[in-house]
Structure 1
Amino acid sequence: MIRGMSDTAEEERKLRYERRKAAYRSARRVLARSSVLSTLRERLARLENAHELYDLDETADLYGNGVVEALEDKVAGLLGTQAAAFFPTGTMAQQVALRCWAGRTGDPRVALHPLAHLEVHERHAFTQVSGLRPVRLNSAPRQPTAAEIRDLDEPFGTLLLELPLRDAGFVLPSWEELDELVAAARERDAVVHFDGARLWETTVHFGRPLKEIAALADSVYVSFYKSLDGFGGAALAGPTTLVDEAKAWRHRYGGQVFQQFPTALSALAGLERELPRLPGYVRHARVVAAALREGFAAAGVPWARVHPEQPHTNEFQVWLPYDADAVAEAAVRQAEETGTLLFARPWDAPGPGLAVTEIDVRAAGLEWTPEDVKAAVAEFVARVRRGADG
């Protein structure tokens, strides 16, 4: 009986996932148009004006030269580092970075938050594949403090800071706090590595340009698809000696790919077209967040949490006091019935009667006024309540 109920619930979730995809594709209004559900034709259209980004009469890249090297130079220039290396994945880039630093410091221990991407989303690759060892900082869903780094009861060779810390709500320290975190690591003779998959989004919160942010770290990893909507890929930026060694390890890890020009061109497109827009997305995310809070209050929801209250990037969390399946169904029905998809991402259940999702504000979201957001919230809550009433 229990097994049958569980199977039925799983089938309902799979069906809702397919409905959500279809609703997303057909919705007239969303807060972000993600490339995740785009067709091949739509993705390839991203390269229609590639001739504006790079000389297409040059020969295609071979094992990391040509357009890939041009992309590496572009990233190094944006981050103000001596060099950068292109990697097919961020998982590989960060493993290589941490492995190189472990060899240089003589210490395989990496101090990091237990909610860091390396700990939660990579099947512990950096320990299982690269032989590194985590030293976990605080267990709270927030960035660590300088005091916590100074008070760690064992040494470590590298401090890894995820900026922003996605699973805690895309949260960032203040600029002063970040400076203190780095100083605390230096006091312990450790190097500092930034997991900057979304570092591109942080300039508004820090009030500093990318070069000044990256300058605090010894090495920085950035993604080309999370913020910039590229086809994939990542870069590791830092001193020339580190990057040269990283390229040797890239080959050993299987990252010396024969040709990567479509991904490299899409990354150049993201740096040219999407990067300048990110500050505007961050600022409008704060408008959307405030309207969400007001909308849920006006709808009489017992409590609703937007976290952070003022988003640090263009992504943030929304917490509601409802069953996760119920709000997921209401979100899909709203899109199917009205053409407005307010909550495009999945809902998780952190506890009984709790639901949490992520909000992403991009170009499509700039069209939403606060009144639009509040009206969508009212329609959404009405559907949640109708569902609860059966």
Structure 2
Amino acid sequence: MTDAYAGLLRRMAAMRGCDRMLSGVRPVSMTEHLDAVRATLAPDSLPDFYGEGGPVEALELRVAELLGTEAAVFFPTGTMAQQVAIRYGAELTGRTTVGLHPLSHLVLHERDAYAVLGGLRAVRTTTAPRNPTAGEVAELAEPIGTLLLELPLRDAGFVLPTWDELVAVVAAARAAGARVHLDGARLWESTPRLGHPAAAVAGLFDSTYVSFYKSLGGISGAALAGEAGLIRYAREWRHRYGGTLFQQWPAAAAGLVGLDRELPRLPGYVAHATAVAAALAGLPGARVYPTPPHTHQFRLWLPYPADRLNAANLALAEEERAWFVGGWQDTEVPGLAMAEVTVAAPALDLDATQVADLGGRFLRRLAAT
């Protein structure tokens, strides 16, 4: 066991023992995951086989209905789903260029798979910490086959455009002859600020990827949704990439559980995030962005080194059964660290006064270290 994994197990055990949690959710054991899945299955339910039938097919139909698309296909990972989507755009348009933000998931977290595996080339859409504008897309120096938009843009602070800005940038891409793909890993919680349901958002795009674990609490897995031709193509390339597993019913069934249980709760998390962010912004030395949050996730900075913040948070959890915020990372400014705050079900039990009190307890423990 590596030191990193041992540290992860310790943090998970501490979180499971907490009575109060501000950021994140209580980690779920394998047994608890299986119990939740088992409760949704009929006694004679049969699994999927190589992507056909069972919970996989049920999940694909459910996603296509939610997003208003002709079809959807299950993928083991979002990385694989997105590689297939932009490959399809390149083949249809004859352009191997993809409009990408330098903070997008494809650039920062997929080890250049779009270039190494797909033979595609990135065209930077903007350097601003937000999605590109219609004007920026219209003025790109070279044509692109696909414009990829990540909603929200996680590594810029979970930021979203307005609905009108989104409509305009999609129109600008189409006017330039490009297809438009949505990295919608967090689409589910983006709809309150956009003011339109998921189907309306997906309807702007040629293809949409959604995740089943980032906000829905699933085990793993993703779906790619769009017109029938794309989905036929995606099934072929999923097989070529090694993504057509013998059976994937546990992940698919957990995805269905998430759509039933967590999806209806997300608007409440987004609404509560505004109160949580305001309370955290009142802590000494704290900074919150964006204000108010665009989804149920946002960034928090405190003027301390990350290792001290993480140690104080773990001690608070283990000794006082309260979890503040974990996952602190040092920034380019010495002595200033940043963490991502996720307002989920446990945080609904904390009003603004309780959030401020928990933050004060955390800072007092930090000062004593």
| TM-score of the aligned structures, taking structure 2 as reference length | 0.95
Contact 2:328–2:337 (CA under 8 A) maintained in structure 1: no
Q: 2:40 aligns with which of 50, 56, 62?
A: 50
Aligned to 2:229: 241
1-structure distance, mates of 2:344, 2:273: 8
Aligned to 1:102: 90
Aligned to 2:314: 332
RMSD value over aligned CA atoms? 1.8
In the TM superposition, what is the alpha-carbon distance from 1:18 to its structure 2 partner? 5.4
1-structure distance, mates of 2:298, 2:145: 31
2-structure distance, mates of 1:167, 1:355: 15
**Structure 2 unaligned regions, length at least 5:** none
Q: 1:369 aligns with which of 351, 356, 360?
A: 351
1:191-230 equivalences in 2 (<5 Å): 191-230=179-218
Contact 1:30–1:344 (CA under 8 A) maintained in structure 2: no
1-structure distance, mates of 2:91, 2:233: 11
Give 1:49's aligned amino acid.
Answer: A
1-structure distance, mates of 2:330, 2:251: 31
In the TM superposition, what is the alpha-carbon distance from 1:142 to its structure 2 partner? 1.9
Q: Secondary structure at the match of 2:149?
A: strand
In the TM superposition, what is the alpha-carbon distance from 1:344 to its structure 2 partner? 3.1
Q: Secondary structure at the match of 1:217?
A: coil
Aligned to 1:26: 17
Aligned to 2:118: 130
State which drifts further: 66-75 or 102-111.
66-75
1-structure distance, mates of 2:334, 2:19: 33
Question: What's the CA shift string for 1:242-293, capped at 9, x where partnerless?
Answer: 1111111111111111111111111111111111111111111111111111
Q: Secondary structure at the match of 1:111?
A: strand
State which drifts further: 15-24 or 305-314.
15-24
In the TM superposition, what is the alpha-carbon distance from 1:349 to its structure 2 partner? 3.1
In the TM superposition, what is the alpha-carbon distance from 1:34 to its structure 2 partner? 3.6
* Ranges of 4+ aligned residues in structure 1 off by more than 4 Å: 13-19
Contact 2:304–2:336 (CA under 8 A) maintained in structure 1: yes
The reply to whether residue 39 of structure 1 matches residue 26 of structure 2 is: no
2-structure distance, mates of 1:165, 1:239: 25
Contact 1:327–1:347 (CA under 8 A) maintained in structure 2: no
2-structure distance, mates of 1:127, 1:375: 48
| TM-score of the aligned structures, taking structure 1 as reference length | 0.90
In the TM superposition, what is the alpha-carbon distance from 1:383 to its structure 2 partner? 2.1
Q: 2:160 aligns with which of 172, 182, 207?
A: 172
Give 2:312's aligned amino acid.
Answer: A
Q: 1:184 aligns with which of 172, 190, 198?
A: 172
Contact 1:349–1:355 (CA under 8 A) maintained in structure 2: yes
The reply to whether residue 284 of structure 1 matches residue 276 of structure 2 is: no
Give 1:125's aligned amino acid.
Answer: A
Give 2:51's aligned amino acid.
Answer: G
Residues matched between the structures, number: 367
